[in-house]
Amino acid sequence: MALTMAQAAARETKNQVRRGALEIGHAVSTVWDRMPFESIQGNAYAYDKDRVLPGTAFRTVNEAYVESTGTVNQATETLVILGGDADVDRFLEKTMPSDLGVLMADQVKMKIESAQSTYVDAMFNGDTDVRDPKEFDGLRKRLVNEQVIDAQATLADDKFLEDLDLLFEAVNGGPDVVYTGRKSLAKLKALGRRAGGAEYVNSEITGKREWTWNGVSFVNPGTHWSGRPILDDSEMFAVKFAQSFGDEGVMGITNGGLQAYKIGEMAERPAYRTRIEFYSGLVVQGGHAAARLRNIRAQ
């Protein structure tokens, strides 16, 4: 069964450094706080990307059925290596009022916050052919055809809610969350106040207070560590999360989970090091696990 960062942290009883890293990942991210990650063996996972059902029909007595075979399109997701080193110089250990543990914890937190922004950016914008062959392909590249919808109304128009209905219907069973830019989210909140159906709730999954419309959370995925927004205000991504292999939905895969371990004092320079690594990937199981609403206009 796939586990969220919080669930994985609750099960980690031996390695307190790793448990702390998982708790930080949950706290700082609006994706890692709810996305399930399934553990795999090896460095790749083959799964059913989508299916085409076989045909069936009624028949008369002594009539033969017309042969029809379903089609299963498989995909293989390879793990990527994400991470970085958190260092504390010996000079800071000797001269700062905080002890080494506090100084290192602050560096580890910043490194994990940076790592989650790199992962989330790839989840939406990743392109191994154009951007970086070391990352994975994101939803923008994977979603095609009827999973990409053009907005017909502006965010200032009540009819934009009809665009949201179309977005929701494009995801089998409806989405668990919708991601969008900060300004679009603010304007959508204003629209929700006028039209109704919107409220703030304390999410049972994330433990955070979130804005919802018709029971679906709308959140901003944040900014990349470089400072740029991960999503602009012209699009929304509706995502349904899978809970295990075979479920239609989006989920992460990993071998070993989010890892944090002490290297100790380095020989090449006077500093202490903790390494953060995450052997991870993204799978989109089924043809209607997510959808994208694009060309959104403010007014």
Q: What is the pLDDT of residues 88-146, one digit of tens each?
A: 999 998 999 888 989 999 999 999 999 999 999 999 999 999 999 999 999 999 999 99
Query: Three-state SS across the chain?
Result: CCECHHHHHHHCCCCHHHHHHHHHHHHHCCCCCCCCEEECCCCEEEEEEEEECCCCCCCCCCCCCCCCCCEEEEEEEECEEEEEEEEEEHHHHHHCCCCHHHHHHHHHHHHHHHHHHHHHHHHHHCCCCCCCCCCCCCHHHHCCHHHEEECCCCCCCCCHHHHHHHHHHCCCCCCCEEEECHHHHHHHHHHHHHHCCEEEEECCCCCCEEEEECCEEEECCCECCCCCECCCCCCEEEECECCCCCCCEEEEEEEEEEEEEEEEECCCCCEEEEEEEEEEEEEEECCCCEEEEECCCCC
Question: pLDDT tens digits, residue range 227-248?
Answer: 999 999 999 999 999 998 888 9
Domain ranges of the chain: 5-50+70-294
Q: How far apart are CA 262 and CA 6, in angstroms?
A: 22
* HEC readout, 68-132: CCCEEEEEEEECEEEEEEEEEEHHHHHHCCCCHHHHHHHHHHHHHHHHHHHHHHHHHHCCCCCCC
Alpha-carbon dihedral of residues 138, 283, 112, 230, nearest 10 degrees? 20
Q: Which residue type sits at 163?
A: D
Identify the CATH class of 5-50+70-294. alpha beta
Instruction: Report CA 149 to chain centroid distance, whole Å.
Output: 20
Tens of pLDDT, residue by residue over 195-211, are 888 899 999 899 999 99
What would the mean pLDDT of 168-190 be, rounded to a whole number? 96
Confidence of residue 1 (pLDDT cuts 50, 70, 90): confident
Beta 236-239 vs 177-180: how paired, if at all? antiparallel
